[in-house]
Amino acid sequence: MRARLDTSHLAPLTRAVVERVVHSAADLGYAADLVMDEDCLVKAHAALHAGAPVVTDVEMVAAGITRRETVCRLRDAESGPGLTRSAHAIRLAYEEVGPGALWVIGNAPTALEELLTLDTAPALVIGLPVGFVGAVESKQALRESGLPAVSNVSEKGGSAVASAALNALLYHPLTEENQ
């Protein structure tokens, strides 16, 4: 991958996230599509390694996250008028974990939209839902929210890339620079 994509100019955690996402999707286009801030990643990395909870929107994202237990409440969620199962699962997860969690959303734009309505005070939101309906808009809303985030500007996304972004932070070593 590095023979085809030069990431040497990127800050350490940004580089780690870009490389894992590109590798997980075999899509070099992510290098120009991803949006993140190194300072936010440094703080999220510290929170993650200090034991902050990790919440996912679907079990497939949870399955891709290694070396860490996650919270996914989709199985317990129910849809209702104006509320998708994915949105309800986010509400249930927030009731369980409270503020300061890392949220990893790779499937449902409605999960990301619901997260933005709650006062979650997240350590980080990895908002990479995939699709042609609502995905771009939900990711744009995330970027406009001012929350610490990893997102992208296109329809691309999905469980594999969302979990890869979190795994990049999990596997990146703690150093004095990023503590």
Given the residues 9, 23, 45, 172, the one annotated as active site? 23
Q: What is the structure's pLDDT at 74?
A: 96
SS3 (DSSP) at 102: strand
Segments of the chain with pLDDT less than 70: 176-179
Q: What is the structure's pLDDT at 66?
A: 86
Angle subtended at Cα 169 by Cα 97 and Cα 138, rounded to the nearest 5 degrees: 65
pLDDT in tens, 147-167: 999 999 999 999 999 999 999
Q: What is the structure's pLDDT at 178?
A: 47
Catalytic site includes residue 23 = yes
Q: What is the structure's pLDDT at 179?
A: 46
Say what the pTM is: 0.94
pLDDT in tens, 133-146: 999 999 999 999 99
Q: What is the structure's pLDDT at 73?
A: 96
Q: Starting at the edge strand that comes first in sequence, how are the strands of the sheet with 124-127 ordered?
A: 34-36, 149-152, 124-127, 102-105, 54-56
